[in-house]
Amino acid sequence: MKILSIESSCDETSAAVLAFDGDGKATVLSNIVASQIDIHARYGGVVPEIASRAHAEAVSKITYDALEEAACKIDDIDAVAVTAEPGLIGALLVGVNFAKALAYSNKKPLIAVNHIRGHIAANYITHKDLKPPFLALVASGGHTSIIKVSDYRDMQVIGGTRDDALGEAFDKVARVLGINYPGGAELDRLAYKGTPCIKLPSAAIHDDTLDFSFSGIKTAVLNYINSAEQKGERISREDVAASFVEAAVSSVIKKLDDALKRYPELDKIALAGGVAANSHLRAALEKFCRERGVALYMPELKYCGDNAAMIGSAAYFEYVAENFSDTGLNASATADI
Ligand code: KG4
Ligand code: ZN
């Protein structure tokens, strides 16, 4: 059976076709991602109205390109899936309305997918052996949560950021270092050239929750740079990058350690979201999980950032549960999981 999926929650228009075998294992037949990053970079962040317009211009062509690359016609598709929450409302509505029209006019079931569940499901594409229960860390430009995944469709947020998302903190620190939006990946590379010699606060909140506050590290970096400028001292961009990455990564590991202690029955961690591409985080988690005797799952890099294949992967479980939507489906900017 085949699912055509569409993702338009932020600044990537994407469409994918996934084929599932009898055991529910996915093969990605196509996964086309049209990034708007170049359009938004000049504004230093995503401009919602521009994002919606760019999705509207791209969505039809991207979808038919995905079908063509998968060597499929719409008749070969068993269901149309779309990201319906959370995200930029105008951006989501473009994908949702397109998917509704496509499903209705071709008499296909319509499946609404939560974007965060999509990020988690990216792991099932890469790791055919991964099965719940496990702990998931979803870290992207808009979200940072620790999630207890009890079953494919049964999950609960057990911790998360109280302010900035981890990717947002990366992008803001990158910006003060003169790196263009979104600077997370470039900051990742710059950190290898420096040493983590600047003392920064932990983002792991000192209480018994599994929550983070990444705005404190970001403010500490800004204060460090401002105070050095006032004293006429030269800063090392590389050392700032290395110190920020070290503080951010160790904060994440601290709360994951707490989560494992709280749920000793869980012995698997899955990483997800755009920041799952961070090489320092991947390496530190590999070491941490090895020492803790916990299995670690990470999506291939191409499935970390926003893409429609992950939406198709999550949609499969809704298809099996026959959780279909109709033309009354609406998008929602905010949603938990
Ligand atoms: O999941 P995603 O593509 O979009 C959202 O749902 O937000 O995540 C994008 C975020 C951006 O903040 C970007 O800077 C960050 O992921 N990112 C990284 C890396 N690659 C992407 N952050 C740190 N290191 C990376 N290598
Ligand atoms: Zn995302």
Which residues, including other chains, have CB under 8 Å from residue 50's CB and lie 6 or more apart? 36, 39, 40, 43
* Distance of CA 292 from the midpoint of ligand 2 (Å): 28
Q: Give the model's pLDDT for residue 336.
A: 86
SS3 call for 336: coil
For ligand 1, say whether the CB of 299 is within 6 Å of any of its atoms. Answer: no
Q: Strands of 12-20's sheet, edge to edge?
A: 26-35, 12-20, 2-7, 79-85, 110-114
For ligand 1, say whether the CB of 140 is within 6 Å of any of its atoms. Answer: yes
Pocket test for ligand 1, best of 92, 170, 251 (most atoms within 8 A of CB): 170
Q: What is the pLDDT of residues 50-71, one digit of tens each?
A: 999 999 999 999 999 999 999 9
* Distance of CA 139 from the midpoint of ligand 2 (Å): 8
Residue nearest to atom 23 of ligand 1 (CA): 184
For ligand 1, say whether the CB of 95 is within 6 Å of any of its atoms. Answer: no
CA quadruple 281, 282, 283, 286: dihedral sign = positive
Pocket test for ligand 1, best of 35, 145, 275 (most atoms within 8 A of CB): 275
Cis peptide before 133 (omega within 30 of 0): yes
For ligand 1, say whether the CB of 88 is within 6 Å of any of its atoms. Answer: no
Range list of H helices, 164-236? 166-176, 184-190, 215-230
Beta carbons within 10 angstroms of residue 219's beta carbon: 15
pTM of the model: 0.96
At 71, the amino acid letter reads: A
- Residue 284 CA to residue 183 CA, distance in Å, equals 20
- Residue 132 CA to residue 268 CA, distance in Å, equals 9
- Residue 308 CA to residue 6 CA, distance in Å, equals 5
Those residues of the chain that have pLDDT short of 50 are none
Token pair listed for 57: 């211009």
Q: Strands of 268-272's sheet, edge to edge?
A: 154-160, 144-151, 134-139, 268-272, 295-297
Q: What is the pLDDT of residues 110-123, one digit of tens each?
A: 999 999 999 999 99
DSSP state of 234: P
Place of tokens 């170049």: 38
DSSP state of 301: G
